[in-house]
Amino acid sequence: MGGTVDEEAAAIVRGGMALIQEEAREAAEGQKHRYACQS
């Protein structure tokens, strides 16, 4: 990375948040499909 410790920590946090948002979106999509199948 070559940045300061703070910059590296911030990058890791941003990466983690992006992953969490991606998982949340996939979970929401999965729920939509389930509801669509039930109705």
Rounded to whole angstroms, the Cα distance separating 37 from 29 reads 12
pLDDT band, residue 24 (cuts 50/70/90): very high
More confident residue, 14 or 33: 14
Predicted pLDDT of residue 39? 64
Residue range of the domain that includes 8: 1-39
What integer pLDDT is reported at residue 3 of this predicted model? 78
The answer, yes or no, to whether residue 17 has pLDDT greater than 60, is yes
> Residue 33: pLDDT above 60?
yes
Number of structural domains in the chain: 1
Gap between the Cα atoms of 33 and 39, Å rounded: 10
Is the confidence at residue 11, as pLDDT, over 90?
Answer: yes
Q: What is the DSSP letter of 32?
A: H
Instruction: State both tokens at 28.
Output: 């929401």
Are the beta carbons of 14 and 1 closer than 8 angstroms? no
pTM of the model: 0.57
